[in-house]
Structure 1
């Protein structure tokens, strides 16, 4: 399998609906940096084991987060996701908001952020409007470093766990989207790409 297998010379993906993967990959390539395209081509050139295939469709790497942290990433408020484990992956990643409702601690955090950072407060959603059980944005993983290797700003400290022995995943190139009714998983998981064509037909700020 190679990326160019999904394209017919001189034919735009929208003109060839039989190959469902074309539209997402085509849109990705149009908006991707040369470095991102090079990484994608490298993965395809190394075979299917480098880019998981589910029932004939490509899958996208996905991470499930509790709210409001998933939406903080979608809104650009949170640039780092802190984890107890590191990753060597440097590639696009879908952010999935878990079905778990916001707890008292998360509600307090939203209210505290609104008071401490009035400009950010204008961006935050009302408590009942945070989407649950949905993929809400795509990011690029560009780095992963120990949390004690640098000093985050006050905002990042408030929206992440910066204790000893943790890792900060740095995200860039946020693209908001909304795909509802998706069940999450622990750790990194693959979202089947037979649903991904919906991503590029639904591009709404969440």
Structure 2
């Protein structure tokens, strides 16, 4: 199974299904099962900002109890779409069949700069017990 390492709190935001699109500067052609790995680093400053703080708190998390160095969820990577800024509507959108508009917490939880990529995640399943694992850059093989 392919895996993707993310800094916290983004790995947990995906695991708790509050973040459904992962934004990257690079594109992937891969589609299929994907493990979400929480790296060892936590951006504690962002964890104290809204909407991060309240969303994490609603699920019992703070910067002090986020899991690190482990796989926290598995999901399906459905598609990788280029991000563009729609001047007419003044919103970021994914270049997919529905020209998906990005808004709300999803917009706050990603970097939707024009020209980046949105990885559409589906069927996220948070693991009841995170599985310790050493992460890596890019997509990597887990299990």
Shift of 1:120: 6.7
- Report the TM-score when normalising by structure 1: 0.57
Going by fraction, where is helix more abundant, 1 or 2?
1
Larger Rg: 1
Question: Which residue pairs with 1:179 in the alignment?
Answer: 131
**Where does the alignment leave 5 or more consecutive residues of structure 1 unmatched?**
1-59, 194-206
Q: Secondary structure at the match of 2:40?
A: coil
- Structure 1 segment 91-106 matched on structure 2, within 5 A: 91-104=32-45, 106=46
Moved more, 122-131 or 182-191: 122-131
The structure 2 residue matched to 1:165, chosen from 115, 138, 141, is 115
Relative to structure 1, the CA distance from residue 170 to residue 62 in structure 2 (aligned partners, 3 Å threshold; closer, same or farther) is same
Task: Work out whether residues 61 and 190 of structure 1, in 8 Å CA contact, stay in contact via their aligned partners in 2.
Answer: yes
**Where does the alignment leave 5 or more consecutive residues of structure 2 unmatched?**
85-94
Q: Distance in 2 between matches of 1:133 and 1:65?
A: 10
Encode CA deviations 1:120-150: one digit per residue, 9 max, x unaligned.
Answer: 7412512211001010000100111111134
Going by fraction, where is strand more abundant, 1 or 2?
2
Encode CA deviations 1:140-168: one digit per residue, 9 max, x unaligned.
Answer: 00111111134201211110000011000
Task: Work out whether residues 7 and 38 of structure 2, in 8 Å CA contact, stay in contact via their aligned partners in 1.
Answer: yes
Question: Which residue pairs with 2:18 in the alignment?
Answer: 77
Task: Work out whether residues 90 and 141 of structure 1, in 8 Å CA contact, stay in contact via their aligned partners in 2.
Answer: yes
- Report the TM-score when normalising by structure 2: 0.81
Q: Distance in 1 between matches of 2:23 and 2:17?
A: 15
Q: Distance in 2 between matches of 1:185 and 1:134?
A: 12
Question: Which residue pairs with 1:108 in the alignment?
Answer: 48
- Count of residues paired in the alignment: 127
Runs of 4 or more consecutive aligned structure 1 residues displaced over 3 Å after TM superposition: 118-121
